[in-house]
A = this chain, B = another copy of it.
Amino acid sequence: MNVLIIYAHHEPTSFTAAMKNIAVQALEADGHNVVVSDLYGQGFSAVAQKWDFVTTSGNHFNYMSEQKHAANLQMSFSPDILGEIQKLQAADTLLIISPIWWFSVPAILKGWFDRVLAMGVAWDTGKFYENGLMRGKQAMLLMAGGHPAEYYKVNGRHGANPNQILHPINHGTLAFCGFNVHEPFVALNVISANNLSREKALKDLEFRVKNIPHSPQWLTLYA
């Protein structure tokens, strides 16, 4: 497989960093080609801006229309976006490794979705979900959350389970672009966890990563 890992944590001694390191080692040991976009390390810009495009199409600035315009103009995106698009196009497997912040991803990673999964590149008019431009590629979230598992239940404090909480990413972002989305790996309770449970979680992650082609599909939970 040609794997692109999008990694979003500042701290090399964090649990999220350990997840990324294990994933890279496990995949490379199996002979896969792995590229990591270390968003903090790259100083990736999160905010969708006018200067994301070499030229803009008019006076009324609509980011989505400008993405389509740039895609039509031989990919006239800013170099940082173009670099990420090229990595994405070269990959058949996208792994997103991130902490859960506010039931979602950190802004730096949300900015990667906003800027890189561009109209005309990852999806287009009439080309989304089963016709999305990323069809044929697979994607999987690997995330770490601080609260204990009992919070992440419909009747728990968080009022929803991890798959419901991650619906905007798994369904609304990845499946929308046509990715074949796998069941996410979510390590919970990582703040209070002892070393044994962290090691267990990393072993579970290694197993999931080594078996991606046989990994269960993510299913939308509301249909």
Contacts and interface: CB of A to CB of B under 8 A. Distances in A.
Interface string A71-102: 00000000000000000000000000000011
Each complex incorporates copies of this chain amounting to 2
A11 B111 CA distance: 18
A103 B173 contact: yes
A214 interface: no
Given A47-B107, A61-B11, A172 B165 contact: yes
B102 A168 contact: yes
B167 A165 contact: yes
Given A10-B61, A11-B60, A108 B46 contact: yes
A36 interface: no
Nearest to A101: B114
Interface string A201-223: 00000000000000000001111
B106 A114 contact: yes
A106 B48 contact: yes
A179 interface: no
Nearest to A221: B159
A168 B159 CA distance: 10
Contacts of A168: 102-104, 165, 168
A113 B102 contact: yes
A55 interface: no
Interface of A: 10-11, 13-14, 40, 46-50, 60-64, 101-108, 110-111, 113-114, 117, 129, 146, 154-155, 157-160, 164-165, 167-169, 171-173, 176, 220-223
20 contacts: A10-B49, A10-B63, A14-B60, A40-B47, A46-B47, A102-B110, A102-B114, A102-B169, A102-B172, A103-B167, A103-B168, A103-B172, A104-B110, A106-B110, A107-B107, A110-B110, A159-B221, A160-B220, A160-B222, A165-B167
